[in-house]
Amino acid sequence: MIDGRKSLFSGMQATGNLTLGNYLGALKNFVTLQDEYETFFCVVDEHSITVRQDPAELRKRARNLLTLYIAAGLDPEKNCIYYQSHCSAHAELAWILNCYTYMGELSRMTQFKDKSAKHADNINAGLFTYPVLMAADILLFQTDVVPVGIDQMQHLELTRDIAIRFNNIYGDVFTVPEAYIGKAGAKIMSLQDPLHKMSKSDENENASIYLMDPPDAIMRKCKRAVTDSDTEVRYGEDKPGVSNLIDIYRSCLSKSVEEVEKEFEGKGYGVFKEAVGEAVVSVLKPLQDEFARLSKEKDYIDKYIKQNAEKASYYANKTLRKVQKKVGFPERIR
Ligand code: TRP
């Protein structure tokens, strides 16, 4: 809770190109939550350097991501959209929490195992303690809910364990966060392999629609999407490709499965895929235009970068000071 409101924290990495799945599954829903929660949307640049990054590229991507959140309709006055590296409390709390987290716990994290296999030449200590920084992100804001995908659930569980452990020693310091399970935030699957999630790191370029894809690429990818040998536009486990396209179509246009099935009764896949492409363009084109417009508004974006770094630091420091006192650091002299 923050100032009597429930708080929501989400961290996102500025690496890879965001996909339609990121938009329909997360970003679009955040817009509907901004009135209900005190929200923190943090571009986690400190997490990004656990794998090697090109500095100029990281800086550019981080700014693009922050701009994109605003372009998607998140009011930067109400939502605290900010960079992790602009709020030093993250790193400071992470250090303290490192001392309350066990090597054994971190060794069990599947993301660490996956990433160290993938980056065998750079298994750095930051990669190992990544989940502790994530715990700090969340716990700094007395967060009630965290919208996370299944791949981050293990990290959220660890965050809860750390919070409970700390609270057991020092009294109620942290809110123990819950996963936010949104209403029907569609899970969008790969267009080429509909049994797997649409991913920003897919090597098959027809598998994912990127948020910045031009209309002709979107249309082409939709037309090439994998379906089945049948012709019926129907939702079902036996039809993963078609079901995924129905999900995309209905999330873009806010329709129900039944409405979509009815609309395309007897029409075949060609007509349907064309319509899906147009629906996606109708959602992404305005987002792209707004992104392009905002990207030129340097002063406007800069103003919120500064303002929200201060806002985040204000709330984060409140928690940090409390923690520092609890563990026995000397009082500051004013
Ligand atoms: N680890 C998350 C991811 O890769 C990003 C993240 C960092 C995050 N800190 C967070 C997500 C706090 C939720 C809450 O997706």
Whether 44 maps to a domain, the answer reads yes
CATH number of the domain residue 88 falls in:
3.40.50.620
Same domain, 256 and 313: no
In which band, very low, low, confident or very high, does the pLDDT at 182 lie, cut at 50, 70 and 90? low
Same domain, 176 and 220: no
Whether 83 maps to a domain, the answer reads yes
Angle (nearest 5°) at CA 259 between 253 and 261 = 110
Whether 332 maps to a domain, the answer reads no
Rounded-to-10 torsion of CA 72, 75, 79, 83: 60
What's the gap between Cα 47 and its chain centre?
13
In which band, very low, low, confident or very high, does the pLDDT at 200 lie, cut at 50, 70 and 90? confident
Choose among 305, 311, 319: nearest CA to 89: 319
Same domain, 241 and 141: no
Same domain, 164 and 221: no
pLDDT (0 to 100) of residue 185: 60
Q: How far apart are CA 319 and CA 311, in angstroms?
A: 13
Q: Kind and range of the H or E element at 43?
A: strand 38-43
Same domain, 278 and 311: no
Q: How far apart are CA 243 and CA 257, in angstroms?
A: 9
In which band, very low, low, confident or very high, does the pLDDT at 183 lie, cut at 50, 70 and 90? low
- For ligand 1, say whether the CB of 146 is within 6 Å of any of its atoms: yes
Same domain, 270 and 306: no
Of 22, 140, 148, best ligand 1 pocket probe by most atoms within 8 Å of the beta carbon = 148
Whether 193 maps to a domain, the answer reads no
CATH number of the domain residue 253 falls in:
1.10.240.10
Classified as helix, coil or strand, 83 is strand
**Above 80 in pLDDT, residue 186?**
no
In which band, very low, low, confident or very high, does the pLDDT at 16 lie, cut at 50, 70 and 90? confident
Whether 55 maps to a domain, the answer reads yes
Question: How many whole angstroms from 229 Cα to the centroid of ligand 1?
Answer: 39
| pLDDT tens profile 49-94 | 999 999 999 999 999 999 999 999 999 999 999 999 999 999 999 9
Same domain, 66 and 136: yes
Structural domain span for residue 235: 215-292
Backbone phi, psi, residue 80, to 5°: -85, 90
| pLDDT tens profile 225-282 | 999 999 999 999 999 999 999 999 999 999 999 999 999 999 999 999 999 999 999 9
Same domain, 246 and 302: no
Total tally of structural domains belonging to the chain = 2
Same domain, 318 and 280: no
The pTM score is 0.93
- For ligand 1, say whether the CB of 46 is within 6 Å of any of its atoms: no
| pLDDT tens profile 275-316 | 999 999 999 999 999 999 999 999 999 999 999 999 999 999
Q: In what order do the strands lie in the sheet with 38-43?
A: 80-83, 38-43, 7-12, 145-146, 178-179
Backbone phi, psi, residue 256, to 5°: -95, 160
Same domain, 252 and 314: no
Of 9, 112, 152, best ligand 1 pocket probe by most atoms within 8 Å of the beta carbon = 152
- For ligand 1, say whether the CB of 30 is within 6 Å of any of its atoms: no
Whether 190 maps to a domain, the answer reads no
Same domain, 151 and 222: no
**CB within 8 A of 143, min separation 6: which ones?**
7, 8, 9, 40, 175, 177
What count of Cα atoms within 13 Å lies in the side-chain half-sphere of residue 145?
16
